[in-house]
Structure 1
């Protein structure tokens, strides 16, 4: 995020410097157009980076400790222990009851994990939406400035 803020400040400074030079100089128009094109490309790239960061963060949430794969692995282990007891003929009724309790417990854990992931991803989506909106506005402003400069140069 710090890199994003720093690069935004640099591009804004470059854009400001390009507008500060002499207005009637033909090389100034060329520099302005180049700067505006670079600024527009910069904002487009920032949008791509934001989507990539979102995808990574979503994958991190889904793979964090206590994820569905871990829950399923633990569930299979515990059920397997009791199934082995049933196969060996040891405490058959108690083992069946224990398996039912384990199934209910892990169904509840999976539901809790689903709720946690949904809440975290919703929060992440909100942050992405805000960041994209800011980038979209900055991109539109740079694009409009580029269109005005190109039109004025003709």
Structure 2
């Protein structure tokens, strides 16, 4: 008995909704145009948020531990120690070799950091691409649903 009552109520509600949509009320058209404008604004806002999140994540990757600035500071510090030894005349030949070794080591570390950042940013770009495609599909769906009301409002 409950099933029959529920199915009847659902049928009546569905029929009432379809019947209510058949009347062409001018205020309803205005509401639909307003809804479309709000939908466009919503999706534009989402796009801006996605790009802002991308920019923040990219900056976070570039500023993470072991970034180029930190590597350069460490490099300058250690080279400075050996240059001080050279200036003081202590272990000159060994200090020059150590500076060359440091230069090679830090050049390698910078190259590794470039590779790491490139890979992380590529992943980030892929995530952005997926999110933008999802947003594009949602916008197209909303646009299609409301396109008839825009045409009717003109």
TM-score range with shorter-chain normalisation? Answer: 0.7 to 0.9
Cα displacement (A) at 1:144: 3.5
Report the equivalent of 1:117.
117
Instruction: Return the TM-score normalized by structure 2.
Output: 0.82
User: 1:21, CA displacement in angstroms?
Assistant: 8.9
* In the alignment, structure 1 residue 22 sits paired with structure 2 residue 8: no
1:152 to partner: Cα distance:
2.3
Q: CA RMSD in A?
A: 1.8
Moved beyond 6 Å, runs of 4+: none
Counterpart in the other structure of 2:45: 45
Gap change, CA 1:146 and 1:79, over 3 Å in 2: same
Larger RCO (alpha carbons 8 Å, 6+ apart): 2
| CA deviation vs aligned residue, 1:46-101 (integer Å, no higher than 9, x gap) | 00110010000000000000000000000000000000100110000000010011
1:128 corresponding residue in structure 2: 128
Match of 2:4 in 1: none
Structure 1 segments unaligned to the other structure (5+ residues): 1-18
The answer on 1:90 being equivalent to 2:90 is yes
1:35 Cα deviation from its structure 2 partner: 1.2
Q: How many residues align?
A: 136
Q: CA deviation at 1:109?
A: 0.5
**1:129/1:26 CA distance change after superposition, 3 Å:** same
Bigger radius of gyration, 1 or 2?
2
* Shift in CA distance, 149/140, structure 1 to aligned 2, threshold 3 Å: same
Change (3 A) 1:96 1:78: same
- Counterpart in 1 of 2:12? none
SS of structure 1 residue aligned to 2:20: coil
Q: Which residue pairs with 2:6 in the alignment?
A: none
The farther-off stretch of 140-149 and 33-42 is 140-149
Structure 1 residue 20 displacement after superposition? 7.5
